[in-house]
């Protein structure tokens, strides 16, 4: 599944989903892991009002030298999405040959819950049209592990099969960023994610 090496220096990863899904922690782990591997890295995120169950996006860029903490549209190598509509919302960031890893999960926004809008029925097809898309049952795997909150690390496990970053750095990054009592569970979740990627 690994992609052929690119000419451009930096790798751009968008992580997106719904506030409260552990998106910022996932971007922290990715950011830390790439720094351990000796890359220059920048990460940008938003806090405050945007986080209350709203749409959340973080940008992670790594390579030899990174200037802008923000990824330009059409230049994301990977989009890691925790929800399908959120994947679609940011799909215009994807580079022509970029790839999307999308949790097979639909969380209706309030506009849908109160009947003002509809959850797009053709979302899978629309995503596939935007670029190479892998739908992953990460939430079921997390639920299977007994804690739905580790879905973020399951998805990182999937992403790890796409990035050229030693597994050791990923594991060290998880240890550094999650609370001690959850390290084992998260390492396990990471492993399950790697298996999911096939």
Partner 1 sequence: MKSLLSGNEAVARGAWEAGCRVATAYPGTPSTEILENIIKYPEIDAEWSVNEKVALEVAAGASFAGARALVAMKHVGLNVAADPFFTMGYSGVTGGLVIVSADDPGMWSSQNEQDNRHYGRHAKVPILEPSDSNEARIFTKLAFDISEKFDTPVLLRLTTRICHSTCLTELGERKDIEVKGYVKDIKKRLVLPAHARALHLVVEERLKKIAAHSEVFRYNRIAWGKKTLGIITSGVAYQYAKEVFPDASVLKLSLTHPIPERMIRRFAKQVRKIVIVEEGDPVMETEIKAMGIKVTGKDKIPLCGELTPDVLKSSFSKKTKAPAKSSKVPPRPPVLCPGCPHRGVFYVVNKLKLVVTGDIGCYTLGALPPLSAMDTCVCMGASVTNAQGMEKALGKEFSKRLVAVLGDSTFFHSGITGLVNAVYNKGNLNLLILDNFTTAMTGHQPHPGTGRLARGERGRRIAPEDIARGCGVEMVKVVNPNDLAATESAFEQALEYDGVAVLVFRRPCALLVKPRPPYRIDPESCNGCRLCLRIGCPAISLVFPKEREKPLAVVDEALCVGCGLCVQLCQRNAIFLSRKSDG
Give the residues lining the site for partner 1 (CB under 8 A): 18-19, 28, 31-32, 35, 40-55, 66-70, 72-74, 85-86, 88-92, 108-120, 126, 148
- Give the DSSP H or E segment for 78: strand 76-81
> Which of 27/160 has CB closer to partner 1?
27
> Which of 66/150 has CB closer to partner 1?
66
Q: What distance in Å separates the CA atoms of residue 45 and residue 167, rounded to the nearest whole number?
A: 25
> Which of 97/111 has CB closer to partner 1?
111
In angstroms, what is the minimal distance from the CB of 2 to partner 1? 26
Q: What distance in Å separates the CA atoms of residue 94 and residue 73, rounded to the nearest whole number?
A: 7
In angstroms, what is the minimal distance from the CB of 164 to partner 1? 19
> Which of 109/191 has CB closer to partner 1?
109
Nearest to 141 by CA among 150, 129, 132: 150
Q: What distance in Å separates the CA atoms of residue 156 and residue 6, rounded to the nearest whole number?
A: 21
In angstroms, what is the minimal distance from the CB of 94 to partner 1? 10
Query: What are the residues whose beta carbons fall under 8 Å from the beta carbon of 45, sequence distance 6 or more?
Result: 23, 24, 27, 56, 57, 58, 59
In angstroms, what is the minimal distance from the CB of 100 to partner 1? 12
């Amino acid at each position: 599944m690994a992609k052929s090496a690119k000419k451009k220096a930096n790798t751009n990863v968008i992580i997106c989903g719904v506030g409260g899904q552990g998106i910022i922690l996932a971007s922290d782990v990715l950011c830390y892991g790439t720094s351990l591997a000796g890359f220059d890295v920048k990460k940008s995120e938003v806090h405050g009002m945007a986080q209350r169950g709203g749409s959340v996006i973080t940008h992670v860029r790594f390579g030899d030298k990174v200037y802008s903490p923000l990824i330009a549209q059409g230049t994301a190598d990977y989009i890691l999405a925790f929800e399908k509509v959120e994947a679609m919302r940011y799909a215009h960031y994807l580079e022509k040959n970029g790839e999307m890893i999308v949790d097979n999960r639909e969380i209706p926004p309030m506009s849908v819950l109160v009947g003002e809008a509809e959850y797009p029925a053709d979302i899978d097809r629309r995503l596939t049209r935007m670029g190479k898309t892998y739908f992953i049952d990460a939430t079921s795997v997390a639920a299977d592990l007994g804690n739905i909150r580790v879905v973020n690390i399951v998805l990182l496990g999937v992403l790890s099969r796409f990035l050229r970053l030693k597994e050791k750095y990923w594991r060290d990054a998880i240890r550094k960023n999650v609370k001690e009592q959850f390290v084992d569970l998260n390492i396990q979740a990471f492993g399950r994610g790697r298996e999911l990627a096939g």
